[in-house]
Structure 1
Amino acid sequence: MTFADPSIFSDEAVAPETAALNADIIAKMTALPDLWAFPPELVRESRRQGRGIFPQQGRSPRAVVVEIEGRHGKVPVRIIAPDKPSGVYMHIHGGGWMFNQSDFQDETLEKIVAETGMACISVEYRLAPEHPFPAGPDDCEAAALWLVTEGVRRFGTDRFFIGGESAGATLSAVTLQRLRDRHGLTPFRGANLIAGCYDLGMTPSAHRFNRGKLILTTRDIALFVRAYIPAGIDLRSPDVSPLYGSLEGMPAALISVGTYDALMDDSVFMASRWQAAGREASLKLWPGGCHVFQGFAIPMAHAAFATEIAFFNAN
């Protein structure tokens, strides 16, 4: 593995638009009340009303929702599909396993449909703390099994991808390992993993993050994990922290993260382990990018999206 040019980590490598966005985010988040002073449902409702730090996306008028059977009951799966899909991207949203929902990124998924010809499905998995581990991973596993079983009949293709942002990237890696280990299945051609938390016990960059309230802090990570993982569960279990699992048989992966992200080491370590298992992994480090900077309208986010589209179309 050839590591990145060290200059990518310098402040001089950060584009002015990226630096301006970071300063604006820190100022806004510093002025906001403490997220953790409110009950989760109040935070969820605030985000549904567009009062979160990320720009709100409009809902797709052609999206449909199907409910599939899961271990804990029905699991809604949101589908945005062209007439004749060239593949299917199973998207798992982020939000610290506690927040957000499957229709928050309809505009982004519509762009993926337009640029790749694939259908996009997004999983409405159960959220902590009301539904702690393993409810979320169980729902994602059920959605993946539904896609494997029904995908060809419903979409006319078995060209499948999986991915997501932050907690969604974590759940994507867990789902890949579950399908292989529990069902003997390796159905996905590619994994699009954006700023995932792959070691819930915290990597050095997560443990020592010192850039202020730039989307995700060390305290945030600790409190998300506390809400998601019941006491007594080993944080190094691969089902919790997929960095510790076997990566044999994994699909090609695009692993992306900003250099100003508390979870930068998670992506660096995961890409190294992916390649050590003999699997294809491309690590993209974006200078000065905050946690899931792809959700903001800056040039670097457009470049990152183009990289994702190229990955989909090449596999």
Structure 2
Amino acid sequence: MKDLWNAADVPDQKDRVAVITGGGTGLGYQIALVLAGRGAHAVLAVRDVTKGKAAAERILAIHPQAEVSVQILDLASQRSVEDAGTELSSRYPRIDLLINNAGVMFPPRTVTVDGFELQFATNHLGHFALTGLLIGNMLPVTGSRVITVSSLGHKARGAIDFDDLNSEKKYSAGGAYAQSKLANLLFTYELDQRLAARAHATTIAVAAHPGGANTDLTRHTPAKLRWLQALAARFLFQSAEMGALPPLRAATDPAVTGSQYYGPDGFMEQRGHPVLVTSNAKSHNEEVAQRLWAVSEKLTGVHYPV
């Protein structure tokens, strides 16, 4: 019998705190909407506070008894990540779920205020730092989880280019995106191993991908490829509501274990209901994962207590 897990299968989340990056739009909003509706205190960690507040109001209009708050967070700025980490860890001594969802895809080459390539900074380094700043609030919480949203795009990257992490020698929007999504998986698997090595550990790290989801993440798609994007959106992609299901399952299904990876069950994992899927062999290279971890600690200045 086919596994048709959906939002109705999300168990009661009462008294749980869930921090969702990019919670104001797209997948993040849909994730927050479901979790808030199940009783979680949903914290929308967003770059644009105005949009974040509007999203919170939409959630409250649907679920009047929900608890929703907004936290400013610009993942492309290490200062902003540090400030958000300090505020969140102070405001929420207990954090049950951290859903690293926000991301950017295919922009023209852009350098952040810290000197990093935008996609690597936002998709990987920002989430690496934020997780490290909040993990201390999660370790004492039984059943806490770190969920990081990757992408099918990780398969397009052969390896992490440690000699050119910031794409200074050569920039490909697609290549840089794929590298950041491969980094998401290497980070997840390495984090879970470190968490599992702790005595009495219950915090786990899990990954997910939405397949092809119709969200504003594709807004930077080059003009010459937009016809292809429109075609894919019509025949391959699914709604943001469906795209949110893999991270939701990774975050809430009691049967989930550490280092698992969830994605759609349909054709080429583009659409469908969330099931266990497989990431490529490069994402399981422990030597690369450990090297990326060390580099990420050096670049962000954030060191984990695990």
TM-score range, shorter chain: 0.3 to 0.5
Higher helix share: 2
Q: TM-score, normalised by structure 2?
A: 0.35
Q: TM-score, normalised by structure 1?
A: 0.34
